[in-house]
Amino acid sequence: MLQKLTHYLSLIKFSHTLFALPFAAIGFTLAITQENFTFSGVLALKVVLCMVFARSAAMAFNRWADRHFDAKNPRTAIREIPAGVISPNSAIFFVMLNCIAFIITTYTINSACFFLSPIALALILGYSYTKRFTSLCHLILGLGLSLAPIGAWIAVTGKFALLPLLFSFAVLCWVSGFDIIYALQDEDFDRSQDLYSIPRVFGTVRSLTLSNNLHIAASLFLLAAGLTGNFNWIYYAGWIIFTSLLIYQHTLVKPNDLSKVNLAFATTNGIASVVFSVFVITSRLI
């Protein structure tokens, strides 16, 4: 049983939840402090569950939809479905369970979350097919993860607002930027399979430039959020660290050396997200 659980956690790359979950925590905290709502541990748990269910569904569906391509790619052939560790039917059943759990959880939060839940699922599941027809797939992925801060805000307030949207725009640019870096590994494979990606269309050098520009935009959106929300110096200290880590990851990946892509993609961005959220939340609580 434990081994099976481990396989499913690997299937959905559970550790990568660190990318978006800290920004959901930011959205949740800002809604409470900015709009003077009372903290609810039950609601906080529901927001976390929504994040886990939605991301689990999205990742498992991506692995299911890409299983034939993954089997042909030496880098991904060891993934659970092409390796035969998890069957395609089991994976899609897992997706369905998580989608149902997500919708039910949103129903218990408020009507806005419930009515928006099918749109959110359509976006994060539909991403898996975008590489078949557009190199903008990285932006679609970023858009999916950008729902974290605004979704958490709506869970508390039941409405939209500018401040969480600025954080969402930052997440969109940040995730799109580092996904382009990650996709550099499959530039030749994508070309051989007629799959679309920015590295396949623009090449390594221009893709890295575009990724860098997206990360500059992400930093500027976070700066705009700081000014809009009247944050104190703690926020800006976190912003400097986050921006520095974005700069650092671009020093790790060179056009002729992709050996540190995973360090730039997973480790650096995971640390950046967690550290920044700690600074933002602290700035609101003291």
| pLDDT, tens digit, 9 for 90 and up, residues 148-197 | 999 999 999 999 999 999 999 999 999 999 999 999 999 999 999 999 99
pLDDT band of residue 232 (cuts 50, 70, 90) is very high
- The Cα 255–Cα 34 span in angstroms is 44
Residue ranges of domains in the chain = 2-285
Segment 11-34 shows an average pLDDT of: 86
**Each residue of 110-143: pLDDT tens digit?**
999 999 999 999 999 999 999 999 999 999 999 9
Backbone angles phi, psi at 108, to 5 degrees: -80, -10
Contact 277, 171 (CB under 8 A): no
pTM value is 0.95
Give Cβ neighbours of residue 40 (< 8 Å, ≥ 6 apart).
none
At residue 210, does pLDDT exceed 80? yes
The fold for domain 2-285 equals Tetracycline Repressor; domain 2 (1.10.357)
pLDDT of residue 266: 81
Share of the chain above pLDDT 70, in %: 98
Rounded Cα distance between 189 and 196, Å, is 10
pLDDT value at position 99? 98
For 36: left if phi > 0, alpha if psi spans -120 to 50, otherwise beta; the answer is left
Report residue 57 as tokens: 């569904």
- pLDDT at residue 214 above 80? yes
Average pLDDT score over residue span 62-71: 96
What is the pLDDT averaged over residues 253-275? 89
